[in-house]
Structure 1
Amino acid sequence: MTKDHPREVVQAAVAAHGEDTVIDWAVAFLTGEISGEAAYGAELPKLVAITGSANPGGWKAPVDPVNYYWIRVWAARVFLYLWRDDVVDALLAVEDDPAWRVREHVARITAQRELGQLVDGLLPMLEHELPRVRAAAVRAIGVAGESEHVEAVEELAGDPDHTVRAAVERALARLSERLGPRSPRC
């Protein structure tokens, strides 16, 4: 069985339920308005619509609550393919989510949508233990950051992980392109 790409899943959900409805569901899952228990209970048809699977995690029933954060990850992923301006409020509400995968998606969305208002909330991710999280934050800051964020990115130029260092190089180039060269420090 071939699993559909997330973009195709979201497109199918929109075709079946409408764009605003799918966005509303994703916001409700992301922000916890629809709980994990409800997502695998009464609200399961909504979860199926945005994930393309009746059991997206492949877990045995009942689903262990430790895995409920995946619902927020899948909901955030929707915003890589669908957008409405009020989604920013939901992203702001979860920028410090306890699950690093949710925060990583917030960074990805920030970069894709150039959401400068989310950049400050990404700064703690620059110190995350996982290189992929640091790199996602650096990329987002490169796209949507301002001059006050440059120093935080520069501090990762010597990161032990090559993907983070490469992201720093690209982010600094992009920031310089967008903001102009930095004035020398006194």
Structure 2
Amino acid sequence: MTDLPLPRDLEAPVGELVLELAGHLGERATVDLCVELLEGADRNDHPDAMPYLTGVVFDETSPKFYPSQWKDYWVRTWGARGLLYVWHDSAATAVVAGLDDEHWRPAEMCLKVSTKRELGEAGPRAAVLAVEGELPRVRVQALRTLGAVGDTEHVDVVRSLLEDEEAQVRRQAARSLSQLARRLDLDVALD
């Protein structure tokens, strides 16, 4: 990796930091870096890039130094989050694979990327996460993904979550069912 300067403003929103990184490396190289991290690359292999993806300097002398407190799933999450701001279709396979991450944070971030980038291939795994996700926030994001990219085979899954025990999941199921109906030109009742 090239020696990168520190970001102009570590307090800037992550989206701005990622775009600044892309200004240094190029968009495709930044996408490739995000994919590497999503796939489990060691953060120590990319110390100059990490401040752009986290807003934190990976230097023990910095007052914003925390890497020993962060588990590896954060690195995968940061890689996925970067793909919200830079994109190339070559990243789609890694994002869909990230839906199977053992930790909920990278999986949830991959759902967000799948929604934003309209990755239809995320539909089957999003349907599983909508039903089996341990946390309501993961189920809600899976429903958002299904609303954006789901197909007719996902309608029953979304409809079943209209009865979820969590109000936020029920509300998102109703929104996603309406979105599916509009997008796919279906006559779907919100039972």
Considering the TM-score relative to the shorter chain, is it more than 0.5?
A: yes
Q: Provide the rounded CA distance (Å) in 1 between the counterparts of 2:25 and 2:117.
A: 24
Q: Provide the rounded CA distance (Å) in 2 between the counterparts of 1:2 and 1:19.
A: 20
Counterpart for residue 4 of structure 2 = none
CA contact (8 A) 2:21 2:49 kept: no
SS at 1:45's partner residue?
Answer: coil
Counterpart for residue 21 of structure 1 = 29
SS at 1:156's partner residue?
Answer: helix
Q: Provide the rounded CA distance (Å) in 1 between the counterparts of 2:188 and 2:76.
A: 41
CA contact (8 A) 2:84 2:116 kept: yes
> Which of 7, 11, 20 matches 2:15?
7
Q: Provide the rounded CA distance (Å) in 1 between the counterparts of 2:188 and 2:24.
A: 53
Counterpart for residue 169 of structure 1 = 174
1:87 aligns with 2:109: no
CA contact (8 A) 2:14 2:52 kept: no
> Which of 44, 47, 51 matches 1:44?
47
With over 3 angstroms needed to count, the CA separation of the structure-2 counterparts of 1:77 and 1:183, relative to structure 1, is closer
* RMSD of aligned alpha carbons: 2.2
Counterpart for residue 59 of structure 1 = 66
With over 3 angstroms needed to count, the CA separation of the structure-2 counterparts of 1:58 and 1:138, relative to structure 1, is farther
| Residue 2 (structure 1) shift | 6.9
Unaligned runs of 5+ residues in structure 1 are none
Counterpart for residue 77 of structure 2 = 73
Unaligned runs of 5+ residues in structure 2 are 1-8
1:105 aligns with 2:109: yes
Q: Provide the rounded CA distance (Å) in 2 between the counterparts of 1:174 and 1:183.
A: 10
| Residue 75 (structure 1) shift | 0.8
The one-letter code sitting in structure 1 at the alignment partner of 2:56 is: S
CA contact (8 A) 1:27 1:87 kept: yes
SS at 1:167's partner residue?
Answer: helix
With over 3 angstroms needed to count, the CA separation of the structure-2 counterparts of 1:2 and 1:81, relative to structure 1, is closer
Q: TM-score, normalised by structure 2?
A: 0.84
Counterpart for residue 157 of structure 1 = 162
- Aligned counterparts, 1:122-137, within 5 A: 122-126=126-130, 127-137=132-142
Q: Provide the rounded CA distance (Å) in 2 between the counterparts of 1:148 and 1:135.
A: 18
Q: Provide the rounded CA distance (Å) in 1 between the counterparts of 2:151 and 2:100.
A: 20
SS at 1:49's partner residue?
Answer: helix
The one-letter code sitting in structure 1 at the alignment partner of 2:53 is: I
CA contact (8 A) 1:22 1:50 kept: no
Q: Percent identity?
A: 31
1:121 aligns with 2:125: yes
